[in-house]
Amino acid sequence: MKQHKLMGALAISGAFALVLSGCAAGNTGNTGDNGGKDAPKTDLSDYNPQPRSNMKQGGTVNLAINEIPEQLNAFNGDASADTATIAAFYMPQIILMKPDGTEYKNDNYLSEWKHEVKDGKTVLTFTFTDKATWNDGTPMDWTAIDATWKANRSTDEGFVPNATDGYKEIESVVQGDTPKTAIVTFKGEFAWPEMPFNGGVIHPKLADPDTFNKAMIDNPHAEWGAGPYTVDQFDANKDFISFKPNPKWWGDKPLLDKLTFTGMDAQASINAFKNGQIDQVNVGTKDRLAQVSDMKDITIHRAQQPANTLIEVDADKPQFKDVKVRQAFFAAINIEQQKKIAWNGLDYTEKPAGSFILYSFQPGYSNSLEKAGYKYDPKAANKLLDDAGWAKGSDGIREKDGVKLSVTYPIFSDDPTQAALAQSLQKMEKEVGIDLKVDVRPSNKFADDYNGKNWDVVGLRFTSSDPFGPAWFFQMYGQDQGLNLSGVQNAETDQKIHDQVESQTTPEKQIEASNKLEPEILKEWGIIPIYNGPMIYAVKKGLANLTPWPYSGLDLFGNQPVENFGWEK
């Protein structure tokens, strides 16, 4: 399931070829002070790619995950990055992607995938293979494309999609010469024809709003899947799901006999790895790296991650109704200090992360945050709060009309680096008179709490599935999209996105328009990017073709065949 961005709990924490440009960049050369020693290298991707001939048939892989989300429909607006990770193993991967973002059809599902322009309109053709079949016996055909379009084209029909970008630009989906072929016609020329349906379709039974929104809550519905694996065991209460080879799969035999995901907090996951209970673990902090430093038969993998760590405020809460208060809150944040805490001991640096549309390692990137006028300035923050009528009390905390300027900031991790980041933010805000209350919560509460807006301020990771950032501008900044819940979006902004960005018919023009509009939207001060950061994993030696799931892996934009994930001979 491949929406452009999905939210995830704040992660414990380069360059590529845009498909349109065809020119890949090299390693970013991130280094740090390492006592005169060579700093560890952070590559674009670092996932131990191996051909199937080098791989062993059989075995088990056990993995940790933040949580098994309640919503298991990865296209739904309440889904998280963890939902997409789970879905990758039993839902169809019709389009695959190399780490640099180059897409290609999965021959197990599609015999044809092409795009062309006819009479001024972009037209896509999908032809499913004769063998492509859903687990319940339903043929996989044009109805899968039609259902996916209908469920994701709008929020006006009762569906709650993760994103409508791309889908809403489609004029029609019709059957081709046979039911196995779908013809997709856009309303005009579409700048990113590779983007729609890039990796996932839904079963036709999900093309009903009530079913789409509710049927997969705490129910994976394996019969609506189609892939090398299928669900073996599922226990929502224990945060556990396992997969086994799908007897109905028609392609290359999956390498593993069994694969499991168990929801774990940060400390539990590192302990489980050290005890041999799981086979890889995120070690993206100095403390976590140190805990695995003396382990034998493991490898450390470091890669760029196409993701933004961000801080978001809820403008619907009374404390943040006034844009001056929101601007002051962000002006009090020393981003460089946050980076130093997050990357302490990791020997990693990067260019400023000033956009949610393109990354600093992409051609066409522009620092929208800087253009919006952002800078760390506690003095300016104090003046903004004074002007907004919030006066400092005897305890240094501001008050207005007898109400304290107090906000709740949850963190969904017991990791010490996350605690240090939160405490640093708390101290920064206190300096300007804002009482930021840090609330430590279990990681398995993240999706429910975020979607339910059970927070005033929140730290997140938005991760990207593909390099077509401007194509997803509306998902990031439009109303009712389920990703950015800052509440500063409005109908006027929606219209500007449509008129200025979505109306452009080439990638180059959309990038230019995005870079112009994004700073204007950021001035509403609902959300700001902080940094991108590396992805660092400790992995049991011999595990190869790592992280074939989207969003949170070691293969940059890669979307690899899950059947090739496993152990080397």
Classify residue 25: in a domain, yes or no.
no
Q: What is the DSSP letter of 569?
A: -
Q: Is 246 exposed, middle or buried (0-12, 13-18, 19+ CB in 10 A)?
A: buried
The pLDDT-based confidence of 43 (bands split at 50, 70, 90) is: confident
Classify residue 458: in a domain, yes or no.
yes
Classify residue 189: in a domain, yes or no.
no
Classify residue 337: in a domain, yes or no.
yes
Asked whether residue 37 carries a pLDDT value surpassing 80, the answer given is no
Classify residue 436: in a domain, yes or no.
yes
- pLDDT of 465 reads 84
What are the pLDDT digits (tens) for 280-296?
999 999 999 999 999 99
What are the pLDDT digits (tens) for 207-255?
999 999 999 999 999 999 999 999 999 999 999 999 999 999 999 999 9
Classify residue 503: in a domain, yes or no.
yes
Asked whether residue 102 carries a pLDDT value surpassing 70, the answer given is yes
Q: Report, as an integer, the average pLDDT of 277-281.
A: 98
Cβ contacts of residue 427 below 8 Å, gap of 6+? none
- pLDDT of 186 reads 97
Mean pLDDT, all residues of the chain: 91
Report the C-alpha gap between 43 and 548 in whole angstroms: 17
State how many domains the chain has: 1
Report the C-alpha gap between 227 and 427 in whole angstroms: 49
- pLDDT of 18 reads 24
* Three-class DSSP labels, 465-499: CCCCHHHHHHHHHCCCCCCCCCCCCCHHHHHHHHH
What are the pLDDT digits (tens) for 388-440?
999 999 999 999 999 999 999 999 988 899 999 999 999 999 999 999 999 99
Classify residue 471: in a domain, yes or no.
yes
Model pTM score = 0.84
The CA-atom distances, in angstroms, between 466 and each of 132, 489, 527 are 25, 24, 22
The pLDDT-based confidence of 4 (bands split at 50, 70, 90) is: low
- pLDDT of 552 reads 72
Q: What is the DSSP letter of 543?
A: E
CATH number of the domain enclosing 444? 3.10.105.10
The pLDDT-based confidence of 337 (bands split at 50, 70, 90) is: very high
- pLDDT of 244 reads 98
Q: Which two tokens stand for residue 130?
A: 């004769």
Report the C-alpha gap between 281 and 451 in whole angstroms: 26
Classify residue 11: in a domain, yes or no.
no
The residue segments making up the domain with residue 494 are: 309-531
Q: Which two tokens stand for residue 345?
A: 């001991």
- pLDDT of 81 reads 85
| Percent above pLDDT 90 for the chain | 82
